[in-house]
Amino acid sequence: MAAFHRSFLAVLFAAAMISARAQSPEPSPATLWLEHDGQSSASLALVTDIDIEVTGLLAYAQVRQQFLNDTAEWAEGRYVFPLPDNAAVESLRVVIGDRVIEGEIQEREEARATYERARAEGRIASLVEQERANLFSTRIANIAPGELVEVQIGFRQAVEFVHGEFRLRFPMSMAPPYVPGNPTPAEMGSAADGGGWSPNTDRVPDASRITPPLAGPLDSVNPVDLSVELTPGVPLTWLESSHHLIDKQFDRGRWTVTLDGPFADPHRDFELVWRPAVDSHVESAVFMQRLGGLDHALVLLTPPQDFAALQTRREVTLIIDTSGSMQGQSIEQARKALLFALDSLSAQDRFNLIEFNSAASALFPAPVEASADHVLRARHFVNALRADGGTEMLQPLELALGQPISPGYLPQLVFITDGQVGNTTEIVDLVRRRIGQARLFTVGIGHGVNSQFLGDLARFGRGSEVLIADLWQVQGRMTELVAQLTSPVLHDIEVHWPAEVEAVPERIPDLYTGQPLMVVARAERLRGDVLVTGLSDGQPWQQVIPLETFQIAPGVAAHWGRQAIQRELDRRGHELAEDEVRRRVLDLAIEYQLLSPYTSLVAVDRTPERSREAALRRHQVPGYLADNGADANAMLARAMPATDAGTVSRWLRGLLALLMVVLLLLHPFISRQGDGEGES
């Protein structure tokens, strides 16, 4: 009987812990926090420096995170941070005083074991892991009291070139993702338990690893500094930051961009935009690097933009996210974007409008003609939209993709959202299975947007992606999107190389107005001409690119490696089994020394610092909550489906906690009774 009571009590205690973890977190200052004996206290201070060097189409960035342990205890920290989409993370370095510890790529499980051994032995160690394609985590073990430790992470990324301008985006902020599903909590302290505010669920198995604490915009902010060295290679007519004030200096072909002020606002993502002079229009470019006995080439081609307007009638389904994370400026931007899209409809088009949060609903039972009356009704509907509830994203996509296609119409879906969900894999899989002849275009709203996820949706939906972080960007970015929706697509594109190559992507996607062709390839030797052919509105098109015009650029090989890794990951569960994908990705990641879902970076000091007798306290580093004008507590509170039940859910959690306390108080009495019954 006593054993039963103890087991029952343990189950209740575990349930209470799960309930506490399932609640959304409160905003917290951007420092490491120490949890000990039920008390919280600030511990490791954080300073971040970001240096980015851009040459042509490629950028190399180094992120330096400095942690000062101002407690009297040995510390271990873990922090989760975003990086640009498809960043090729290639280096880790830990600096303690005059000592420098270089990291190395190992298989993920091996790297964790290496780190845990060093941690137990009292040696300073750091482990960098990829949680999602644009989300990473770092652990630092055995930081001595009063010690300053610097972690340096190096990565490469491609610069976006679209509609005649270059865009460099560095995400600084995050927003709490909506986590659906039933909790399946990992054992505390295990590799599966990331210590986040959400437990793992059956639909988001890694939820605890992608839900770090977040510091609200009004909290004390640890400083973030950022600088960019830009060598564009052509004269510029425009160079500005979209969301931060900057200083810029030009000297002998190079621009130096720094923040206008001591530090950046880390709750807003950084975006630098530059535009070449008219007489320096970029039609094609070739960047090359030789590594490991192979030539690696990155080819850029901008197709002509003088095609006639699209003659095909369109059936446009506009989908808008009205969940709680869209509160504040985000819903204003989304409404304005929707109204802009409605105004772009012609009388020959058909349309429908779907809004979703915890559930999805359509304005019309089926797509209707874009008559003045129907559009006016839709405008009234849009102006009345408010943001609240969860983010059940499968429902609106199933509803939109399940609509019957009208003969003679081109189905287009425009999906407006911040992309803040944890179950991204099942949503992308749905689009891959059901897209059919439709085209899916995504509009990312706000700072902290999950652009990697929205880019994947657009890629598999054979559409395009635009990002709108502030209200003033709506008109310009939606004008770009409407141009793509209403212009012929360049399709059936083929790239003919002068030699046997391994090119990524293998199948060239359709290109819309303002989009360039970017392909990266490797071969033993690349010389000669590249011929690109395609069709637009039934008319053949071709262009020749001489490879001899190449510029030498470091990072092309790493970019090829990262794109090749993504190619294999795209095949997982569709063309190839998990084991085969893992083998291929491991081979590529080890060859190019890159982070991946199956490889990690680990750095370990040789000399033990902490004795085994000294306690080691674990800390979580909050990231920066995206500042989209919404109430921080409201944003965090909507992330778990459990919070949608509102007062009832809180009452149930309260009753569970109260019951646990009562049983704890009665436990000695119950135990004595049970023991007595057993003796009789």
Nearest CA to 271 out of 242, 236, 245, 230 is that of: 242
Contact 627, 173 (CB under 8 A): yes
Mean pLDDT for 148-162 is 94
Mean pLDDT for 243-271 is 90
Q: Which pLDDT value is given to residue 593? A: 98
d(CA 363, CA 320): 12
Q: Above 50 in pLDDT, residue 643?
A: no
SS3 breakdown of the chain: % helix, strand, coil, rounded to 5?
Answer: 30, 35, 35
Percent of the chain at pLDDT exceeding 70: 80
Instruction: Output 488 or 546, whichever has higher pLDDT.
Output: 546
Q: Which pLDDT value is given to residue 640? A: 56
Tokens 């054993």 sit at which residue?
A: 3
Q: Where are the alpha helices (DSSP H) in 281-411?
A: 329-343, 372-383, 394-401
Q: Above 80 in pLDDT, residue 452?
A: yes
Strands 33-36 and 465-468: unpaired
Which has the minimum average pLDDT: 270-284, 485-499, 520-534?
A: 270-284
Residues making up the chain, counted from first to last: 680
Query: If you ran DSSP here, which 8-state letter would residue 566 be given?
Result: H
Q: Which pLDDT value is given to residue 36? A: 38
Nearest CA to 397 out of 362, 349, 448, 437 is that of: 362
DSSP for 156-203, written as a single string: EEEPEEETTEEEEEE---B-PPB--S-B-PPPTTSTT----SS--BSS
Tokens 């190559």 sit at which residue?
A: 501
Angle (CA) 493-499-500 rounded to 5° is: 85
Which has the minimum average pLDDT: 240-244, 570-574, 654-658?
A: 654-658
> What token pair was written down for 272?
């630098």
Residue-range domains of the chain with CATH: 44-276+596-624 (2.60.40), 314-490 (3.40.50.410)
d(CA 403, CA 405): 6
Could you give the C-alpha distances from 557 to 57, 62, 526, in angstroms and in order? 13, 18, 14
Nearest CA to 30 out of 48, 14, 16, 53 is that of: 48
> What token pair was written down for 592?
């190019």
Contact 173, 267 (CB under 8 A): yes
Report residue 312's pLDDT band, with 50, 70 and 90 as the boundaries.
Answer: confident
Which has the minimum average pLDDT: 516-530, 546-560, 616-630?
A: 616-630
Tens of pLDDT, residues 326-335? 999 999 999 9
d(CA 645, CA 427): 24
Contact 544, 496 (CB under 8 A): no
Q: Which pLDDT value is given to residue 625? A: 76
Residue 243 C-alpha from the chain's centroid: 19
**Residue 14, phi then psi, degrees to nearest 5:** -65, -40
**251: which residues sit within 8 A by CB, 6+ positions away?**
none
Mean pLDDT for 152-173 is 94
Report residue 651's pLDDT band, with 50, 70 and 90 as the boundaries.
Answer: very low
Tens of pLDDT, residues 463-522? 999 999 999 999 999 999 999 998 878 889 999 999 999 999 998 999 998 899 999 999
Q: Above 90 in pLDDT, residue 544?
A: yes
Tens of pLDDT, residues 204-216? 999 999 998 887 7
Q: Above 90 in pLDDT, residue 342?
A: yes
Instruction: Specify which residues 330 forms β-bridges with.
Output: none
For residue 309, the SS3 value is coil
Strand positions, DSSP E, 37-147: 39-42, 44-55, 58-69, 74-82, 88-96, 99-102, 104-107, 123-132, 135-143
Tens of pLDDT, residues 659-679? 554 554 455 544 445 444 444
Q: Above 70 in pLDDT, residue 437?
A: yes
